Chain A
Amino acid sequence: MDWTALGLSLRLAAWTVAILLPVSILVGRLLAYRRFRGKGLVEALVMLPLVLPPTVFGFYLLVSFGRDSPVGQLWQGLFGSQLVFSFEGLVLASIVFNLPFAIQPAQRGFEAIPVEVREAAACCGMSPLRSLWKVELPLAWPGVMTAMVLTFAHTLGEFGIVLMVGGSIPGETKTIAIAIYDRVQAFDDRSAATMSAVLVAISLATIATTLWLSSRIGRRLG
């Protein structure tokens, strides 16, 4: 059992969720309420990681975040470290790859709010921020919560991209999924089995928690 790898995966998932939570609320809400030119394109781009093979994505990340790329050089200049083959690079990759999981369910959540409710909030003189906090989020939160749980679980399971831009460095880019892969290659079936079982348990617990939470909330609001 590789606890370092498990800890790293959980940390990666937590960072991804923390950064994507505001993105999910803002972009999900925008896509739910507004009509604008190029909205279809934005929605398509958000969905793209769902259908793109992780290798295609990994390749583009290597090329665009590499140390000779503008992004890589900017990062190097700002933080003095490089992006590819580092934990920060994994977080960045994970954020991009989880966009559909973070935004789609939130968007559905906001879309489900009747327009009259929002108009009533505005008529009562609520500022958009206050309306978001007092009216919309409480109604849309099962969507947002689903988005975050999916993002968390999906990050734990991410493999292809991590393999391509990570480099399997213990404690830095060797996530639990990679550790399982490495252990299988090392003929260490027992460790691989333990880690796989732990991952199954965590994933099940995460999903069960959301289901339970959203059913509870649904009852209360209903």
Chain B
Amino acid sequence: MSTIDLTSADAPVAQPAEGRSGRGRRGHSTARDLLTPGTIIAAVILGITILWALLPGLFTGHDPVDGGDTAALLAPSAEHWFGTDQIGRDVYSRVVHGASRSLLAALIAVGVGLIVGSAIGLIAGSRGGWLGEVLMRIVDVLLSIPALLLSLTIVIVLGFGIVNVAIAVGITAIAQFARLSRSQAVTIMQADYVQAAYGSGGSYWSVLIRHVVPNAISAVLALAVLQVGSAILQISTLGFLGYGAPAPTPEWGLIIAEGRNFVATAWWLTVLPGLIVMAVVVSTHRLGTALRKAAA
């Protein structure tokens, strides 16, 4: 997951607040940003994956957890698109059925990061003072611990299982969300309309809810889409290491881990599910980047 660099989370700060006037001028380029061939392919891939998660039965007729009498380690064929795994289960079917678990876990992870991280960031950014300092130093500490190490530690404390893995991955994402939403909040708090809102008798909380949150949300949501990709990757990593769903549950990381002993004889067990994970991660990342630019 280290290959996906999210340190540009503070990038919007670098843009001077152009005010609301910039919006109309950039409307056109926003649409063009979103309609490149790259984003369209990414959207299609993501769409198919979401359909896999919702309606796996439409895409495969094989049982993901019971291979019956099918031979083990069959090569990819018309009957078994991704071949069969080490105990004769259809790998494609396992990948399709695994989508719901991997995507759901990614959503939980991002949800945890989004809610907790944004709350910390917004309060720190809008309140400032010692509270802001303390909150952001905590975030700095979180940032200083490598994400995988942190999530491993949390999983060991919480116990194994896909939901716990999702929570652990979510906690590692808190820092990103906190920093982005803080920078948004700091910018917004200086805007004239916020001063005006205070002037007309608004309380801290009403200004936060009415003005800061709605204006900060688009950038934060764009980061959330970006984070889905890296969350899938992190969850698969933890699944690969054996901290995720117990067997025989189909889960992407676990599928790859179980196939890795057969790389030499049955490469498709790791390569094909690996390509799927890669495609989904790259797609969400592509979409996330495009949305971010549109929101900026």
Question: Bound pair: A and B?
Answer: no
Interface of B toward A, CB cutoff 8 Å: none
> What is A's interface to B at a CB cutoff of 8 Å?
none
